[in-house]
Amino acid sequence: MDYTTGELMVVAAAREIQDEEVVFVGMRLPMLAFAVAKRTHAPNVVGFYECGIVRDFPSEQLLYTMGDTPNIEGAQWCTSTNHLMFLMQQGNVDCGFIGGAEIDRFGNVNTSYIGNHNNPKVKLPGSGGAADIAGLSNRLLVIMNHEKRRLTEKVDYITSPGAGEGGNWREEQGIPRGGIGSLITTLGVMRPGGNNELELASIHPGIALEEVKENTGWDLKAGNNLTETDPPKPEELDVIRSIDPDGFWTG
């Protein structure tokens, strides 16, 4: 069955969600991943949207932002951003999705400044809720385009902490829990291995290991059980295409 890279990434992201989990849903592809998980293997999942929305079923309509009117109609709870952050600070959020401009070998994500923050080469939009999700959720899931300039040895600025400098860095910083669960890219899926360094766990169908390595800014290790990413199932594609028939997010 034919599918796009975007659709494969949505499905890979959806499979990171377990049934009955509370998920902090990020912008763009995660909004579709939540819908796929909900309508396939995780019918009891609950979604948090940082603008102050909780949903127990996804909107039937395509969302361009999480505050769009179809995301409020049929919501389970409309509340304040702080209330959702309070619950996450207590440990009530199982996993959260973010994107980013840059990520490094220890899974630290930068969405703030390229170059020195006092005199930056590029000013990126900033954290939004990403820094909070990275520090307070139980598992951080990151979705990014796989390019050498984006997957870099060391980020210029840690907006959303992964494992810092590796090892027990998070504990040393006092971060209460969490860390990277997986990084889903246009070429494969990575997970933390020894010393909490990101290692390649699966390669998307049709992609060569060399291509992944060439497009990664550090000496990428392949995990012990390197596999091929399972392609999307028809029922997963059905969900994506029912919501995004024109491929706005996944084309």
Partner 1 sequence: MKEKLETLEQAIKNHINDGDSVVMGACLEPMIPFAAAYEILRQKKKSLNVIAPISDILFDMLIGAGAVKKVTAAWAGNVSAGLGHNYRRAVEKGDPFPIEIEDHSNFSIGLALLGGAMGAPFLPTKSLLGTGIVESNPNLKQEVYNGEKLIYVPSINPDVAILGVQRADKNGNAHLWGNLGIAQDAAMAGKKVILLAEEIVETSDVDSDPNRVLVPGFKVTSVVECPGFAHPSPVQGYYQRDHEFFHTYHKETKTVDGFKHWLDQYVLSVSSHEEYLKQVGKERLDSLRIKQIKLAAPVNYAAD
d(C-alpha 32, C-alpha 20), whole Å: 17
To the nearest whole angstrom, how small is the minimum distance from the Cβ of residue 52 to partner 1? 4
Torsion from C-alpha of 158, 153, 140, 110, nearest 10 degrees = 30
Quick check: helix, strand or coil at residue 221?
A: coil
Catalytic residue among 7, 16, 21, 50: 50
Q: Which stretch binds partner 1 (CB under 8 A): 130-138, 181-189, 191-199, 236-244?
A: 130-138
What burial class does residue 165 get, using C-beta atoms within 10 Å of its C-beta: 0-12 exposed, 13-18 middle, 19+ buried? middle
What burial class does residue 240 get, using C-beta atoms within 10 Å of its C-beta: 0-12 exposed, 13-18 middle, 19+ buried? buried
What count of other Cβ atoms lies within 10 Å of the Cβ of residue 90?
Answer: 10
179 part of the interface to partner 1, by CB under 8 A: no
Q: Which stretch binds partner 1 (CB under 8 A): 11-19, 81-89, 180-188, 210-218?
A: 81-89
Candidate list 42, 97, 112, 239; residue touching partner 1; CB under 8 A: 112
Q: Which is nearer to partner 1, 128 or 217 (CB)?
A: 128
To the nearest whole angstrom, how small is the minimum distance from the Cβ of residue 41 to partner 1? 28
Q: Judge whether 50 counts as a catalytic residue.
A: yes
H/E segment holding residue 62: none
To the nearest whole angstrom, how small is the minimum distance from the Cβ of residue 75 to partner 1? 8
**In the complex, which residues of this chain contact partner 1 (CB under 8 A)?**
27, 49-53, 64-69, 72-73, 75, 78-82, 85, 89, 110, 112-113, 117, 120-132, 134-136, 157-161, 164, 169-170, 173-176
